[in-house]
Amino acid sequence: MNRPKPEPVQQVKQRRDAALRALVSGVPYIQFLGIQFERRGDELTGLLPFDEKLIGNPLLPALHGGVTAAFLEVTAIIELGWSFLWEDMEARRIDPASLDPLHLPRLPKTIDFTVDYLRSGLPRDAYARARVNRSGRRYASVHVEAWQDNRSRLFAQATGHFLMPEPEANG
Amino acid sequence: MIWKALRGAFHKGKAMDESKLEFARQFIEAVPHAHALGMHLAAIGDGGATISMPYDLRLVGDPRTGVIHGGAVSALLDTCCGAAVMSHPDAPAGTATIDLRIEYMRAARPGQSITARAECHHITRNVAFVRATAHDEEEGLPVAVAVGTFTVERPKGGAK
């Protein structure tokens, strides 16, 4: 069999990290909250480092419920956006080097988002991972879970429905 | 969001007066995240609350259009719903969000402030039911609507 030589690992990583960076760094609100994403292959984990301005109740203190909701929603949208970007990137339909905040694949739009608050968010780092349960031509359903110290003790989870971006006329 | 220690602001007298509004306003605006988003309490009392949030480039979710991220609208709605529960005449000692569902009806217009109005329309010993809307500066169709359930904390040792 005549297999092409595998691409150097650094080149693959660089391409994927550049695509992820382009997706995340262009959104001011993600920067405002300080959310970052860690990648292993195509798996993403959202990371929300603790910051004083994320506090909702200074007496406890606890993370603001709105911050928790926003963290879950951002993680869901990025996961969904990343899943399209991944396919296009791996199929070489797009070149991540050409991506900047104003030339990104369009992100899905939230139709609805339901947050289930399981326990109060502690004043420390939080993590979230999303799972795309259905991704159709027009609609997608995404579930997302967030935890702090223990992966099995979620402090919040959410389900959202998203409208897929219209394919752009000329790529 | 988890609320405690706001009780005195609403239930000292009968009618909502300016000093109570001012107390509640200072309380809410002292919440670090509410302060970071520039939230301003416009009205509160009898299970209803109105809170506005100015347009801010840091809250943009889509850099191509300048539309505010849904997450910031969620934070505003969650705060407003909690404030509505705290102001209910049944006087909960505290409350925390159990569940909050938000439907995004349309994109908020770039450059415009967003105002949330919440109403705690039913309360039992243990659960408060809330609905809310978020409007930009255009009349008519809201940007988002929300429904939520909240816990009802009873004052310690209170028989009522």
3-state secondary structure A44-106: EEEEECCCHHHEEECCCCEECHHHHHHHHHHHHHHHHHHHHHHHHHHCCCCCHHHCCCCCCCC
At the topology level, CATH places domain B2-151 in Thiol Ester Dehydrase; Chain A (3.10.129)
Contact residues, B window 79-108, toward A, CB-based 8 Å cutoff: 79, 82, 96-104, 107
Find the CB nearest B33 among A31, A64, A115: A64
Is A104 within 8 Å of A111 (Cβ atoms)?
A: no
Answer yes or no: is pLDDT of B137 > 70. Answer: yes
The two tokens of residue A50 are 């603790």
Contact B60 A28 (CB under 8 A): yes
Who among B36, B98, B102 is closest to A112 (CB)? B102
Q: Is residue A4 part of a domain?
A: no
Confidence of residue B11 (pLDDT cuts 50, 70, 90): low
Task: CATH number of the domain at A154, please.
Answer: 3.10.129.10
User: Looking at residue A171, what is its pLDDT?
Assistant: 41
Structural domain contains residue A26: yes
Instruction: Give residue A154's domain range.
Output: 9-163
Interface test with B, best of A30, A54, A67 (most B CBs within 10 A): A67
Q: Look at residue A2 and tell me if it is in a domain.
A: no
Percent share of chain A, pLDDT over 70? 95
Specify the number of domains making up chain A.
1
Contacts of A71 in chain B (CB under 8 A): 71
CA-nearest residue to B95 within chain A is A57
pTM of this prediction?
Answer: 0.92
Per-residue model confidence as pLDDT tens digits over B64-122: 899 999 999 999 999 999 999 999 999 899 999 999 999 999 999 999 999 999 999 99
**Percent share of chain B, pLDDT over 90:** 73
Domain-embedded: residue A1: no
Note whether residue A68 is domain-resident: yes
What are the tokens at A35? Answer: 């959310």
Q: Is B128 within 8 Å of chain A by CB?
A: no
Candidate from B5, B33, B100 with C-beta closest to A55: B33
Domain ranges for chain B: 2-151
A133 inside domain: yes
Q: Pull the structure tokens for residue A37.
A: 């994403």
A108: nearest CA partner in chain B = B62
Percent of chain A surpassing pLDDT 90: 69
Asked, for residue A168, whether it belongs to a domain, the answer is: no
The answer to whether residue A151 sits within a structural domain is yes
